[in-house]
Chain A
Amino acid sequence: MFFRMLRGALFRQKSKMIMIAITIALGASLATAMLNIMFDVGDKMNQELKTYGANITVVPKASSVLNGLYEMDEEDSSAYLKEEELGKIKTIFWAFNIVDFSPFVNTTATLNSKPVKTVGTWYNHHLALPTGEELDAGVTSLRSWWDIKDGKWIDEQNTDSDKVAMVGTVLAEREGVKAGDSITLSTSHGTETLTVSGIFDAGGDEDEQIYTTLAVAQRLSSKAGQLDSIEVSALTTPDNELAVKAAKEGPASLTPKEYETWYCTAYVSSICYQIQEVITDSVAAPVRQVADSEGNIMEKTELLMILITILSLLGSALGISNLVTASVMERSNEIGLMKAVGARDRQVTGLVLTEILITAIIGGAAGYLMGYGFAQIIGHTVFNSSIEMKPMVIPIVAVLIVIVTLIGSIPAIRMMQRLRPAEVLHGR
Chain B
Amino acid sequence: MKKQKMFLRMISASLIRRRSRMLVALLAIAVGATILSGLVTIYYDVPRQMGEQFRNYGANMIFTPSEADALTRKDIEAGLSHIPADQVVGCAPYRYEGVTIVERPYMAAGTDLSEVQKTSPYWNVDGEWPSASGEILVGKNVASTFAVKPGDTMTLSYALQNPDGTAATADEARDIPTNDVKFNVTGILDTGGNEEDYVFISVEDMTSLTGNDGGFDVAELSVSASSEELQRYVDNINDEKTAVSSRLVKRVTQSENTVLSKLQALVFLVTAIVLLLTMICVATTMMAVVTERRKEVGLRKALGASDGSIIMEFMGEGLLLGGVGGLLGSFLGFAFAQAVSVNVFNSSITFHFLLVPLTILVSILVTGISCILPVRSAIDIDPALVLKGE
Contacts and interface: CB of A to CB of B under 8 A. Distances in A.
A116 B247 CA distance: 23
A27 interface: yes
Contacts of A357: none
Interface in A53-80: 53, 57, 64-69
Q: Which of B42, B122, B139, B197 has the most CB of A within 10 A?
A: B122
B270 A204 contact: no
A415 B20 CA distance: 10
B153 interface: no
Given A68-B196, A69-B197, A329-B21, A296 B284 contact: no
B144 interface: yes
Interface string B16-56: 00001100110110011011001100100010001001101
B305 interface: no
A288 interface: yes
A382 B50 CA distance: 17
A85 interface: no
- Interface range, B side: 35 or more
B273 A45 contact: no
B332 to A, nearest CB: 11
A141 interface: no
A99 B107 CA distance: 35
A98 interface: no
Determine the main DSSP class of B at the interface with A.
helix
Contacts of A300: 50, 53, 344-345
B260 to A, nearest CB: 10
B343 interface: yes
Given A307-B343, A326-B21, A293 B54 contact: yes
Contacts of A315: 31-32, 34-35, 274, 278, 281
B269 A378 contact: yes
A56 to B, nearest CB: 8
Given A48-B258, A66-B141, A67-B141, A16 B288 contact: yes
B255 A27 contact: no
B89 to A, nearest CB: 13
Interface in B139-157: 139, 141-142, 144-145
A147 interface: yes
Contacts of A57: 192
B266 A318 contact: no
Q: Which of B21, B31, B139, B194 has the most CB of A within 10 A?
A: B31
Contacts of B120: 289
Interface stretch (A28-36, A119-127, A189-197, A210-218): A28-36
A384 B208 CA distance: 57
Q: Which of B27, B57, B106, B339 has the most CB of A within 10 A?
A: B57
Interface in A303-329: 303-305, 307-308, 311-312, 314-316, 318-320, 322-323, 325-327, 329
13 contacts: A26-B277, A53-B255, A145-B251, A203-B250, A287-B193, A289-B191, A293-B56, A297-B54, A301-B50, A311-B35, A326-B289, A329-B24, A378-B270
Give me the 7 closest cross-chain CB pairs, A-B, nearest first: A68-B197, A203-B250, A319-B281, A293-B56, A145-B254, A287-B192, A51-B255
